[in-house]
Structures are given as structure tokens and as C-alpha cells.
Amino acid sequence: MGNLLEGKVIAMTGAGRGIGRECALLAASEGARVVVNDPGVNPDGTGHDNGPAEQVVEEIRKMGGEAVPNFADVSTMEGGESVIRTALDTWGRLDGLVNLAAILRDRMIFNMTEEEWDDVIRVDLKGHFTTIKPASVLFRQQRYGRIVNFTSVSGLQGNSGQANYGAAKAGVAGLTRVVARDLGRYGVTCNAIAPGAQTRLTATVPQQARELRAQRGIAGAGTIAQPTANRAAEEAATMRTPDMVAPMTIYLLLDEAWNINGRIFQVAGGHIGLLADLYPPFRNIYKHGKWTLDELRMLVPSQLMAGIPNPAPPAEDIRIPGRDF
């Protein structure tokens, strides 16, 4: 048992399995008291099982740590508030929050139903807000707090068949940056992890979707595809087990990470990368006055977009106006 989080209370959503479980165990091994939230749903959000959260709590207690389960559905405000209230009712304090709860309902955009859209947005995006809102009130008052959210390559780069999940995870990235600015002056940090790991959730991605993403250089749901400079980097990125994501997540909860705020880190195997901000733009064209369409027709392809590939180009057997005629 370590002591890097000695005396701290950390609430974690989606902590009954996969990456969440590994984060809870590592936090507890460093002395944190942990609220293990997990309603035990299936990857698509259906069902309910107290077992996963209870099992993680039991593992923590066996190693000599302290933990309590919480089975609330964080897609509701009542559920999110319940997670925070459990920490306060049990230990009288809260120092950190890790939001991992997520579900998948993969389908191509032209086949996706309103229900599939709404369910994923509620859990994967709103489920961050429902815990951050009550936690932020407390963190602002106590002038201290750590928040770690979980985004995804699906929201940062795009994955076929994941319009709902990608939109939610892109929203998490934006939420993270805004919360960091809202709370930074009060000694609170908010960062995000874009993980690459093989989990129960990613195992549900259809093989056809995996093949399509591989063709486009995208590793798959919950993973990061990134060009590597050498064999060591390639090997580091292949060890995509959930426990490999936990150390960076827990590091962001430490006191010494006080000056890391509003950042997104990709973590896949032994690779950790700091993602560039989406703003300011990395390439620009300027004119004193209003652009004409003729000017844009000339300068957008020759300067603004020169060398920038289409991430999903049309099939060669389709006649494309502008390309073929």
C-alpha cells in the first residue's frame, strides 16, 4: 500500500469493471477511500447488477483499504448527486471525481434511432455533468478538487457507426476544457483521458466496423490510432489492457498535478500523449475584407487544405462531381 492519496476521498463512476475497476484499485492502493459507482448494466445500458461494484469494494477491503458501493444511474441528476452524497455521508469529504461511466449503441447514422441517440448521450455526456455539478459546488467552497473525465478517439477523430458515442465524447472534451476554466481559479483541476484499451465495452464493436476503421487507420472504439516513430513506441501502444490506463488517471488526482488543467491525454498501453488544443487553428489564410467564392475556390485547395487527407473518402466506383467530372 502506498500513501500518495492518503486521506483523500475519490468518487468514481463506472468503476465496477474494466478501466474503472483498475483505477479504483490503484487509488485505494495509494490510500484513497473510494466510492465505487456502477449500476452493473450491459454494454448497451440495459439490465442491472450490484455485483460488479460490490466485488471491487470487497477487493479493496481485502487489501486493507476503504470503499463503499454506489449503484446509482448517473444519467439522471438524482443519480449523479447520489454518488457525491455517498462520499459525504460516509467520510464527510470529497477530494476527487473520476467519470468513467459509458455505454455503446453502435449503428450507422442512417440506421440510428432516436432512442439509441438519446440513451448514449444521457449516460456518456450528461452522466459527466450530473456528478461534476454537485462536486463543483463543494470543490469551489473548499478551494480544492480534482476531476478526471473520459473522452474517446471516437469524439476526437471519429469512428464509423458511432455518431451518438462520438458526439457524447466530443462533448466531454469540450466540457472538460470549460470546467477547467470555470473552476481553475478555485484551486480545482479538470482533465480528460482518451484511453486505448481492450475492455468489455470495446469488445461489442462489430467486426465489420473494426475492419472499416482499420482501413482508415483508426484502431477502434475506445482506442487511439497514432503514427509511431519507432518499434518501442509501437510495442508500448500494443499493451492495451485496462490496468495500463490507471496510472495516468490516478496521477492527475495527486496534489502535485495542481498545475495541469484543461488538458486531454491519450493513454494506450505504455504510450501517453498530450493532445494538442483544437484552437487556435494550425493553418490560416488572410484577406483584408470579404472573401469571394472564386478566391476560396483557388486558395482553399491550394493553401488551406493542401496535403490534408479526407478521413473518409468516397469509394472509387462512385462518380463524384468535382473529382470525376
| Catalytic residue positions, numbered | 165
- Identify the residue whose cell numbers are 484513497: 32
Q: What secondary structure letter does DSSP report for 162? A: B
137 contacts: CB under 8 Å, gap ≥ 6: none
Cα separation of 138 and 254, whole Å? Answer: 18
- Element of type H or E holding 12: strand 9-13
158 contacts: CB under 8 Å, gap ≥ 6: 166, 218, 311, 312
Exposed/middle/buried for residue 221 (C-beta within 10 Å: 0-12, 13-18, 19+): buried
Q: Report how far apart, in Å, the C-alpha atoms of 200 and of each of 98, 221, 222, 228, 229 are.
A: 19, 11, 11, 26, 30
Q: In degrees rounded to 5, what are phi and psi of residue 300?
A: -60, -50
Q: Helical H runs in the chain?
A: 18-29, 51-62, 77-91, 114-121, 127-142, 153, 163-183, 207-215, 231-238, 246-251, 293-299
